[in-house]
Structure 1
């Protein structure tokens, strides 16, 4: 008869999400994780395989529970509405006092924060998926006449993601929600019309 697991996996992933988000990947040790989860290293390895295996679950959880709200902006009726709502929602996320400041993925992908090639590849895949979804939505807007014909949807998607990363870093450095919202309003003055 198998022994029952003494901890809840989803709760452990939430705890790890907070630790990685707050400290970065490299500065979050196995000891930090097992202590916060209240488990032993053997239980940790049995459940997650490795720290990297746990982090992949954390990234999936973060994308589903936190970034998913920003990605819902892809359903806005206009391209400008997509950009505005996505950026405002990200500003809200990055400056939410109930969570660590900034973006979990950005915080963990900074130099010295994610040393493994596999994790860098994981970050690149997540970013590319977000860029592709945004580009596809902007291409639809362009085909419908909502963006000028001479606008490059791929470059516009890249601009939004770069702006997103900049907001995450600003929030990590103490920028408030209101400051980020004002910056979004300023950036959108350059939106193609």
Structure 2
């Protein structure tokens, strides 16, 4: 969230997702929620809240970027945040399935190609 531009925040977020999920431990925030059934509903709910909190942090940072002119006035901070979180979650699922780090980095890079211009 400390990066100077919204695009750099998005890049750091996705690059971090690739790095974190291609470690042997994977991503607890996604994998734990996927694996939890009814007995694990408390854990699933806590992980969902954690993901929602991070989506809100991204949204707030992107609102700031709109206010500062770093993102165009018609940019949708909520949608941008949800988009990044969805891509990051997909990266986590693919990493758990064994997709290589380089391949996932290409996905992150491709997602940034659709980033709105300033």
Q: TM-score, structure 2 length as denominator?
A: 0.91
* 1:120 Cα deviation after fit: 2.5
Structure 2 residue runs without a partner (length 5+):
none
Match for residue 4 of structure 2 among 67, 77, 99: 77
Q: How does 1:171-186 map to 2 (within 5 A)?
A: 171-186=95-110
Alpha-carbon distance between aligned partners in 2 of 1:166 and 1:174, rounded to the nearest angstrom:
13
4+ residue runs over 4 A deviation: none
The answer to whether structure 1 residue 139 and structure 2 residue 63 are counterparts is yes
Deviation at 1:93, TM superposition (A): 1.1
Q: Work out the number of aligned pairs and report it.
A: 115
Point out the more displaced range, 122-131 or 138-147.
122-131
- Alignment partners' CA distance in 1, 2:68 and 2:4: 11
2:116 maps to which residue? 192
Q: Which has the larger radius of gyration?
A: 1
| Higher relative contact order, structure no. (Cα contacts within 8 Å, ≥ 6 residues apart) | 2
So what's the TM-score if we normalise by structure 1? Answer: 0.57
Residue in 2 aligned with 1:119? 43
**Structure 1: 5+ residue stretches without partners:** 1-73
